[in-house]
Amino acid sequence: MNGDERLEHLAKRLGNAAAARLDVEATARKVVARLREQPARRASWIQPAWLRIAAALVIMVGGAVVASRLTPGHRPGVSPHAAHLVADDLNDLSADELRDVLTSFDELINNDSVAVPEGSTDLRELDAQQLRAVLRSLEG
Amino acid sequence: MAQPQVISVAPDAALILAWQAGDEQAAAELVGRHARPLARFLAGAGAPEADVDDLVQETFIRAFRSVDRFRGQCQFRTWLLTIGGNVLKDFGRRAARRKVLPLDEGVRDWAGDPHEHAEASEAEALLAKCLKELPRLQREVFLLRAQQGLEYEEIAAALATTPGAARVHYHHAVKRLKEIVK
């Protein structure tokens, strides 16, 4: 018997013992009983489940929106958290991006405490290094 | 002169239609026809023997509940075996989550010459072990072809691939298995 034939012979025997042990009539009875007991269980379970998930999502999102509006210090259009995240990677930002972040800070603190370098009157006149310095002074 | 008794055997398609119309006996008949080949396939694909009965039941339950999706693209048995493959995969995931190791497959009872059976059992156990290490598609194609004796066209239709690809999977599987089972 060559290798292929031996392999096929073994494959044909594979699982014979398990199949021989199977009580087919009992299996058929159990399958029919289970089908009878739970005919549409899956379909009737899935729909309410999806409805519950959708309802939970709506409540979570709605709650988050309401909470964010009720939080003291919340100002539309300004994201202090975003500014913090941006400030973690100042070296990666271009001058324009730095100006955008500074503008956000500007709005946030009403231009009261921004440490603009001496001699400058407009943020647009600053180069990237100066802008980074301004932002770092705000971080502190 | 007595006429020879003709036993009419309803084709699977007729039994499926009967089951869809609510005939439980038709479902039982389908189980009777296909349960043992399904059990062989599942055991060959790595199902622990203690769980084969449950897995066979689960496969039939899934098949009967989704029988509307069976379009006759292959034989009912072939379609059933592919569902069995999915059931076994899900079983494996659950077992992995529970960290339950399958029982040793070497515990089997045999009738006949003990020495011959010991040798055959050893090779069979080795083949079963090697099959588990094959990619799922290679393993299933190998079993459908070598164990169940299906044609490549039939295997391809069941696994949504081409006969050529099924042939390639089979030859890869054989090549790897032959290296081990010499």
User: What was the pLDDT predicted at B111?
Assistant: 44
Q: Which two tokens stand for residue A137?
A: 């002074």
Residues 6+ apart with CB under 8 A from B39: A15, A18, A19, A22, B52, B53, B56
Q: How far apart are CA B161 and CA B155, in angstroms?
A: 8
More confident residue, B105 or B139: B139
Q: What is the pLDDT of residues A58-103, one digit of tens each?
A: 888 888 888 887 776 555 555 555 445 545 566 777 778 777 777 7
SS3 assignment, position A17: helix
Q: Which amino acid, B5?
A: Q
Decide if pLDDT at B132 tops 80.
yes
Chain B contact present for A28, CB below 8 A: yes
User: What was the pLDDT predicted at B82?
Assistant: 93
- Tell me the pLDDT band of B135, cut-offs 50, 70 and 90: very high
The span from the first CA to the last CA of chain A, in angstroms, equals 82
More confident residue, A3 or A24: A24
User: Contact at 8 Å (CB) between B95 and B102?
Assistant: yes
Chain B contact present for A127, CB below 8 A: no
Q: What is the pLDDT of residues B73-97, one digit of tens each?
A: 899 999 999 999 999 999 988 888 7
Chain A contact present for B104, CB below 8 A: no
- Tell me the pLDDT band of A27, cut-offs 50, 70 and 90: very high
User: What was the pLDDT predicted at B8?
Assistant: 61
Give the closest-approach CA distance of B96 to chain A in angstroms. Answer: 22
Binary contact (B146, A25; C-beta < 8 A): no
Q: Is the ipTM of this structure higher than 0.85? A: no
Chain B contact present for A74, CB below 8 A: no
Question: If you average pLDDT over each of A8-17, A98-107, B103-112, which comes out highest?
Answer: A8-17
- In A, which residues are within 8 Å of B149 by CB distance? 12
Rg of chain A (C-alpha set): 34
Q: Which two tokens stand for residue A41?
A: 């269980």
Q: How far apart are CA A32 and CA B28, in angstroms?
A: 7
User: Contact at 8 Å (CB) between B64 and B47?
Assistant: no
Q: What is the pLDDT of residues A110-124, one digit of tens each?
A: 555 545 555 555 667
Q: Minimum mean pLDDT among A107-116, A124-133, B123-132, B137-146: which range? A: A107-116
User: What was the pLDDT predicted at A100?
Assistant: 79
- Mean predicted confidence (pLDDT) in A50-65: 85
User: What was the pLDDT predicted at A115?
Assistant: 54
User: CA-nearest residue of chain A to B35?
Assistant: A24
Chain A contact present for B61, CB below 8 A: yes
What DSSP line would sit under B25-86, residue for residue? HHHHHHHHHHHHHHHHHHHHTT--GGGHHHHHHHHHHHHHHTGGG--SSS-HHHHHHHHHHH
- Degrees (nearest 5) of the Cα angle B94, B100, B102? 100
- Mean predicted confidence (pLDDT) in B1-17: 71
Residue A113: closest CA among A134, A95, A82, A96? A134
